[in-house]
Structure 1
Amino acid sequence: MFFMRKKTTIPTPAEALPGRDRPIPTAERHHVSGRPLQGPYPPGAAIADFGLGCFWGAERAFWQLPGVWVTAVGYAAGHTPNPTYEEVCSGMTGHNEVVRVVFDPAAISYERLLEAFFESHDPTQGMRQGNDVGTQYRSGVYVHDEGQRRAAEAVRAAYGERLRAAGFPAITTEIREAGPFWFAEDYHQQYLAKNPGGYCGLGGTGVSCPTGVSASTAEA
């Protein structure tokens, strides 16, 4: 996915592309489950947003988990409104390739999603993931409330200790408040279900993420 795009510095809002007022067209329903990508979602459903490299493979890692109601891919943590894929890949929007996970908290915990997130990629690589280099491939957790923030910080700290013990450098995962999520184009949604032999650059470290981590245990 655009291997030669190697911009690794996030632009300022003044430098970013202007974008557009209208959303870009995308799919209405999930290619695998048939559920609506943009809602309405079931009562009590929660949302989690993760960036972990190329969103084609990243999305598949989540839609297969029991308790996940629907997933979608898009762009977040940048400046440009309603960006296109080509604009994001230029490095001039500031966005990350992000998976939105809509889940039932009674069936799967946010901490379990964090474990899947950390184990599905190498969170120590900065502005890249494997051969994919650029700001849109950075590791990020974009939180929707303080509970998610505390959980993300606790799991990041615990996993960082395990990675250091295994010889990895420090985790570079950013944890930020979730801003606007711009749904990606139709052909990106559930890409690997539509193209089973398609590219997936995701690869974990082989180090398991601690289970049962919470903000309270991390502070103890």
Structure 2
Amino acid sequence: MKALLFDLDRTLVDLQTYTDYGAALTEVQALVEVGEDADTPATDWDTPTRRCMSILVALSGTDRWQEVSDLIAVHELRAIPQSHPMPRLEEAMAISDHLPRAVVTLLAEEPARAALRHHGVSIPVVVPRRADLRPKPAPDQVLEACRLLEIGTSETVMIGDSSWDAEAAAHAGCRFVGVAATKAGIDRFGKEIATASNLVEAIRMASRDEG
């Protein structure tokens, strides 16, 4: 392993619990006609969170994507003061500081960077949801992070809390270690996916040689 990629929400910091995705969803539905949800992996997210993210997946590549993303980002920003670090975050950042690292997140750029600053996480390379990249579970964000780090996907490990992270990593050709925020989240990972109980354990697992 030569580089680490981290999901952000509920992997490094819990912002989701405090984000009013219900209000965001109501506003999104008033703005655009929402059809069926995109075909995405099952998660332990609540319904408003899942629907907001699925709508962004469904709108990827369309003229309405940015407007919807910006609307949702307002609610993500409001949640930052209440957000909290995930277990052993500070230690995890210290033991991985020697490695090239990037954050790959479904959050918009402004709330993503603000959340990292708020919790003292110094990872300058951040690949948020962007209009020019298909969001996770597509591999685009993971591939972009590896491009920015100038390290191949086969030499990179991603750590995340959801099946969306796992699928994005797999499609990009990265190894993956799950560190689910809930028991239901762990159950969403297939038996073939290595899972850790916290970030420090996940980094240690990622550092082990394959085989």
TM above 0.5, one fold?
no
Structure with greater strand percent: 1
Structure with greater helix percent: 2
